[in-house]
Structure 1
Amino acid sequence: MNMSPFRASRCLILALAMLSLASPLSAQQAPPPAPKQVPAPTQAQAPPAPAAVAPVQAPASPAAAPSAEPAPQAIAAPADSESKPLKSTSTGMHELSPWLMFMSADVIVKAVMIGLAFASLVTWTIFIAKMIELTVVQNKLRGALAKISDARSLAEAQFALGAKGSVLSSFIAAAMREGRLSAGISSDSGIKERAASSFAEIMRSEARRIRLGMGLLATIGATSPFVGLFGTVWGIMNSFIGISKSQTTNLAVVAPGIAEALLATAIGLVAAIPAVIIYNHFSRVTKGYLELVSRASGAAGRLLSRDLDRTHGEVPRARAAAE
């Protein structure tokens, strides 16, 4: 088949154009070669591809994704800058610790805080001492009442108690003394009345002894909040004076002075709340102990009454035997 030279040249140009279009597409579909393995001739062939590469630049957008990777570094930078204020905030909180606030407080506020701390120490000392004392005396009195439960006279009760001192021993000793002093008196009611008067004095003395320290607890619980409030008012006045001198209302200048003043009220509450709770607790325990003391008084009175009846019953028998 014969072709004209013009037609043959057109076919050749079309074939070359198709080959030039196919080569860039195959190059894009293939994985990108390493920079070191790129042959030099490909760099020379790159210039004739502008016409064919122009329509294929749209899928080249994934290649631009690596350029967005530095963005996280730009976002991380503000986090580093925000970490500095956090450190300064934590440092400020450390500077406002209770000890440093106490050291930087006014002399009057310091005196108030020291007084309240001493009052709190006194409260806990009284609590420990009274708890031990009440436990010991209650156990001792219960044991003494159990020992004389079967006694028939004051002498037997005194022998059963022995030398152990307790309030019951005081009641029995007072009853025996009254019976001895009233020897020869036939009026039993008078002897019992005088013995009951002695028992009442012993009960009042025991109540005063066992309530020792309770008044101090009541005073601490009632006055500590007001003492702390006085320290707070004094500290706030000094803070306002400092604000007027510095001529600024910045919170960093105002907050430390107010915090130091409020610390006095906090210590006052720390001293007052335990004092009130301990006072109420000991009021209940003391009331129970005084009920035991009242039982001991009644037991001694009954023993005295038996002795008196026995004595007056023996006198008529002696007279009848003499006649």
Structure 2
Amino acid sequence: MEQAGLAAATHDVSLWALFMQAGFIVKLVMLGLLGASVWTWAIVIDKYISFAKARRQFSQFEQVFWSGQSLEELYRSLAERNNSGLAAIFVAAMREWKKSFERGARSPIGLQMRIDRAMDVTMAREAESFEARLGSLATIGSAGPFIGLFGTVVGIMTSFQAIAGSKSTNLAVVAPGIAEALLATAIGLVAAIPAVIAYNKFSGEAGKLSSRMEGFADEFSGILSRQIDEKLQPRQAAE
């Protein structure tokens, strides 16, 4: 009776004690997964803030763009700023527009292609910034449970080796080692589940913002196409 009480007293099953009692490889797995969990939440917070800022900037720019303000005035107010999103696409298109006319552009098709290309390059760069670090979330979400499972397998193997050495299958002897091993899987799930949820959410957000950029680029391309016809057709007719 006293021996059973002593055995129970010597096995602390708190989370910290389970971590400290784990083997080197299992500890390494746990620490790696905890680091991945911290990195996941850092990305989540950063992306939440950056996407909220992007949505606000998109709405503000669209409000100004469709307010009736002239394109030249809007370009002058944005040209020297560090723009992003729709403003960056607008500035890239207007910069190509002005450069082409300053150099005496004569081909409407060539000018339209250069403007569209400038907007496409800017859109690709902006979309890349929206998707930055989402790959890390996908990796953590997919690999986290398997890394935790690896730690669990190693821990269970170590526990069975200890059981074989002690030649005892008493639950009080077996349980702490199994608990240490399963803790690795639990930490893997703690890291992976938020990563998967965040990846799905922010991938959707990035897709919506990219769609808004594409829609604006198409509308703005149509506006510029009409202005190109108005400016170049009289010049071609005079020639």
Residue 257 (1) aligns with residue 177 (2):
yes
* Cross-structure match for 1:173: 91
Residue 247 (1) aligns with residue 167 (2):
yes
Mapping 1:43-62, distance limit 5 Å: none
- Distance in 2 (alpha carbons) for counterparts of 1:92 and 1:140: 60
TM-score (norm 2): 0.87
TM-aligned CA deviation for residue 150 of structure 1: 3.8
Q: 1:139 aligns with which of 47, 50, 56?
A: 56
Which SS does the other structure have where 2:168 is aligned? Answer: coil
One-letter amino acid matched to 2:29: V
Which SS does the other structure have where 1:165 is aligned? Answer: coil
Kept after mapping to 2: 8 A contact 1:141/1:166 = no
Q: CA RMSD in A?
A: 2.7
For residues 227 and 164 of structure 1, do their structure 2 counterparts lie closer, same or farther at Cα, with a shift above 3 Å needed?
Answer: closer
Q: 2:46 aligns with which of 120, 125, 129?
A: 129
Matched pairs, number: 233
TM-aligned CA deviation for residue 156 of structure 1: 3.4
* Cross-structure match for 1:225: 145
Q: 1:282 aligns with which of 202, 211, 233?
A: 202
- Distance in 2 (alpha carbons) for counterparts of 1:239 and 1:221: 28
One-letter amino acid matched to 1:173: V
* Cross-structure match for 2:109: 189
TM-aligned CA deviation for residue 146 of structure 1: 1.1
User: Which ranges of structure 1 fall in alignment gaps of 5 or more residues?
Assistant: 1-83
One-letter amino acid matched to 2:84: S
Kept after mapping to 2: 8 A contact 1:148/1:161 = no
* Cross-structure match for 1:35: none
- Distance in 2 (alpha carbons) for counterparts of 1:314 and 1:217: 55
Residue 237 (1) aligns with residue 157 (2):
yes
Q: 2:36 aligns with which of 119, 127, 137?
A: 119
- Distance in 1 (alpha carbons) for counterparts of 2:227 and 2:9: 80
* Cross-structure match for 1:300: 220
Superposed CA offset, 1:137-174 (max 9, x none): 11101110110114475313324657472333322332
TM-aligned CA deviation for residue 314 of structure 1: 4.9
Residue 309 (1) aligns with residue 229 (2):
yes
User: Which ranges of structure 2 fall in alignment gaps of 5 or more residues?
Assistant: none
One-letter amino acid matched to 1:196: D
Which SS does the other structure have where 1:137 is aligned? Answer: helix
Structure with higher Rg: it is: 1
For residues 316 and 235 of structure 1, do their structure 2 counterparts lie closer, same or farther at Cα, with a shift above 3 Å needed?
Answer: closer
Which SS does the other structure have where 2:66 is aligned? Answer: helix
Kept after mapping to 2: 8 A contact 1:138/1:289 = yes
* Cross-structure match for 2:23: 106
Which SS does the other structure have where 1:127 is aligned? Answer: helix
TM-aligned CA deviation for residue 97 of structure 1: 1.2
Counting aligned pairs with the same residue, the percent is: 42
Superposed CA offset, 1:208-253 (max 9, x none): 1111110000000000001001100111111111111111111111
Which SS does the other structure have where 1:119 is aligned? Answer: helix
TM-score (norm 1): 0.66
Which SS does the other structure have where 1:182 is aligned? Answer: helix
- Distance in 1 (alpha carbons) for counterparts of 2:200 and 2:58: 23
Which SS does the other structure have where 1:281 is aligned? Answer: helix
For residues 160 and 227 of structure 1, do their structure 2 counterparts lie closer, same or farther at Cα, with a shift above 3 Å needed?
Answer: same
Kept after mapping to 1: 8 A contact 2:151/2:184 = yes
One-letter amino acid matched to 1:156: E
One-letter amino acid matched to 1:272: A
* Cross-structure match for 2:75: 158
- Distance in 1 (alpha carbons) for counterparts of 2:105 and 2:77: 28
- Distance in 2 (alpha carbons) for counterparts of 1:148 and 1:161: 12
Kept after mapping to 2: 8 A contact 1:231/1:264 = yes
Kept after mapping to 1: 8 A contact 2:11/2:176 = no
